[in-house]
Amino acid sequence: MPPEITTNLSRIAIVSLEILLGFGIFWLGQLAYQKLFRSRMELNLELFVRDNPAVAIALVGYYLGIVLALAGVLDKLGATWQDQLLYLLSYGAGVIVLMLMGAWVGDRLILRRCDTAREVQEEQNVGAAAAEAGVHIANGLILSAAMGGQSGSWMVGLVCWLIGLIVLVVVSYLYPKVANYNVFREICKRNNPAAGVALSGLLIATGNVVRIAFTPEFTTWAQSLSLYGLILGFSLVALAAIRWIADLVLVPGVKISDEIVHQAVPNLGAGLIEAFAYVGGSFLIAWSMV
């Protein structure tokens, strides 16, 4: 058999094992989500008896966060296929732990003015679920860079991940001032899906610019942290300008905040447009940095 075919068959076998391990990590992830993070929630009851869309949105965001986080794990190149699978298994377990810790930070510090578990489970609040999903996806994006690369260690990854979470918390504090309305009251008291979707878009975009900042390989603490800080600072400033640009370019003559807040029925389309502006802008920033 030609060596090219043998090499490709071996690669297919390794990829198949990685996929199986990935699904195993998903199973552990959903078990941890149900037993540790949302211990009062029975997923099958919420999803298939009560047909609760809010639970589905939050759960899918959590799953997507795990997928994104595993992208950083799969960048690790082992000397042998056994090393490669060991990387996936050990980092995958670590990803689940850090995803749950990030979810806890999201509940306590980012969505601090909402009882998110109650809003999602009992009120079927789609806006709160979208915001929670945004936290999970942003966390996954941060982990994909923090745990990726060849030169960093677990300690480097943990420090970068903590910095990323701090940035998310700070942005969540500043956002109501930029949006010029009480974001968390709209989401939790008014069950405003447009406000939740817009916040979700901002959180995902912030996670993406943090990912961009942490993409360069780690060298030394002083050199790398200064580089990360420079890229992150520029990206966040550029992201802050996007909402203003969205008002001018995407919806000329209309104020997005008015559509989200100052209507009897909040305009979900306006929330989606604002979320798109943030996420799309973050990818434009990412591509310009390549």
**For position 75, what pLDDT does the model report?**
62
CA separation for the pair 158, 237 (Å, rounded): 25
| Of 143, 135, 192, 190, residue with least CA distance to 168 | 135
CA separation for the pair 149, 163 (Å, rounded): 17
Q: Does 224 have pLDDT greater than 90?
A: no
**For position 185, what pLDDT does the model report?**
94
**For position 4, what pLDDT does the model report?**
66
**For position 40, what pLDDT does the model report?**
84
**For position 6, what pLDDT does the model report?**
67
Mark out the alpha helices in 33-188 (DSSP H runs): 43-48, 53-74, 81-105, 116-121, 126-146, 154-179, 183-188
Cβ atoms of 124 and 45 closer than 8 Å: no
**For position 210, what pLDDT does the model report?**
95
Q: Does 222 have pLDDT greater than 60?
A: yes
Q: Does 125 have pLDDT greater than 70?
A: yes
CA separation for the pair 210, 140 (Å, rounded): 11
User: What average pLDDT does the structure give for the chain?
Assistant: 88
**For position 62, what pLDDT does the model report?**
95
DSSP assignment string, 249-277: HTSTT--HHHHHHSSSS--HHHHHHHHHH
**For position 282, what pLDDT does the model report?**
94
Cβ atoms of 130 and 57 closer than 8 Å: yes
Q: Does 81 have pLDDT greater than 70?
A: no
**For position 13, what pLDDT does the model report?**
76
Parse the chain into domains and list their residue ranges. Answer: 16-289
**For position 216, what pLDDT does the model report?**
86
| Of 37, 65, 40, 42, residue with least CA distance to 52 | 42
From 45-54, 115-124, 148-157, the region with the lowest mean pLDDT: 148-157
| Of 212, 230, 220, 217, residue with least CA distance to 289 | 212
Q: Can you give the pTM of this predicted structure?
A: 0.92
